[in-house]
Structure 1
Amino acid sequence: MQKKTADENSPSGPTVAITHVFDAERERVFQAWTNAEQLVQWYAPDGCTIHFKAIDIREGGAFHSCIRNPVHGNCWCKGHYLEIAVPERLVFTLAVTNENGDDITAEAAGMAPGWPVMTTVTVTFEALGSQTRLRLRQTVQAALAQRTGALPGWVLMFNRLNQLL
């Protein structure tokens, strides 16, 4: 079950907010987000793969990754883990980069104009008996995320995570 909403606002409009219920216990869903071996199995939309050039999953740690899309090419990004509260909350940044990890504009990466230099993603995990309600918020306009495919990409990744769990 998934629900896409835009209930959080920024000065430029509603930001991305997705709620998804997984048929797995909270600790298991949280681990899928914080275990590199599990992330590579689901953290890319259908038809794509993810490669982590570096990943250090701990508060203060960082990652540098590439989503490989056979149609649209490679999408490099990096981020920092700002908060890891096991098994309740995960907060990290996402910034567009090149293969070397240098910050670049969205336009230079072939993305839509207006995409922020950096976004923050907050994921909360709520136990519902043997299920988990996940809430994801990303600091980017929901309309822009929908138009660029980023918002539907999250939903596709959650579907892949459903299969893994």
Structure 2
Amino acid sequence: MEQNKKELQITHVFDAPVELVFNAWTDPEILVKWYAPDGCTIEFKSLEVTENGSFHSCIHDPVHGDCWITGVYREVTFPEKLVFSMVLSNEAGESVGSLDAGKPEDWPKEIMTTVRFTPVGDQTELTIHQTVNEEEAKQTGAYQSWIKMFNILNRLISTSKI
């Protein structure tokens, strides 16, 4: 990609073992506690975290409305890596255009997300990479949402609520 078309990548260190952080990404009871930015909630109509398993979720945002997403898990390697697609959808799980979902016209139809979990002593270094332009992700708030969600997960870990 061109320099100004850098894809989104965020690295974050969690003060928890790698198995615990990986589990927070795959256990639906834990995911609903953190996988939505502050002030929002998430609902999973379906979630099967297995290779070729799928999900259908909605982030309920009181300001910007609902954002439905479907996806397929391409790779699930415990406790090292998750690779999954993300496609904007409606409540029925049908793909929708980016403008209909409140995203820029050139927002990708499908975003591939790769999450790597690396043990660093008793901590976990998590790196998330998405096939979306980082600048656009910052403009739409997607980038900031990841940071907010990681902060929520940090609080859950530090208060032993997962």
Shorter chain as denominator, the TM-score bin is over 0.9
Change (3 A) 1:72 1:81: same
Note if 1:83 corresponds to 2:51: no
Note if 1:70 corresponds to 2:62: yes
Equivalent residue in structure 2 for 1:28, among 11, 20, 26: 20
5 Å matches for 1:122-137?
122-137=114-129
For 1:47, give the aligned amino acid: G
5 Å matches for 1:12-23?
13-23=5-15
Equivalent residue in structure 2 for 1:39, among 21, 31, 34: 31
What 5-or-longer segments of structure 1 have no aligned partner? 1-8
Task: Give the SS at the match of 1:114.
Answer: coil
C-alpha distance in 2 between matches for 1:110 and 1:132: 34
C-alpha distance in 2 between matches for 1:69 and 1:10: 33
Equivalent position of 1:103 in the other structure: 95
Equivalent position of 1:93 in the other structure: 85
For 2:147, give the aligned amino acid: V
Change (3 A) 1:57 1:39: same
- Give aligned-pair identity as a percent: 48
Equivalent position of 2:140 in the other structure: 148
Q: Which runs of 4+ in 1 moved over 6 A?
A: none
Q: Larger % of strand: which?
A: 1
For 1:34, give the aligned amino acid: T
C-alpha distance in 1 between matches for 2:91 and 2:3: 32
For 1:101, give the aligned amino acid: G
C-alpha distance in 1 between matches for 2:112 and 2:141: 17
What 5-or-longer segments of structure 2 have no aligned partner? 158-162
When the two structures are superposed, what TM-score results if normalisation uses the length of structure 1? 0.92
User: 1:12 Cα shift?
Assistant: 7.1
Task: Give the SS at the match of 1:157.
Answer: helix
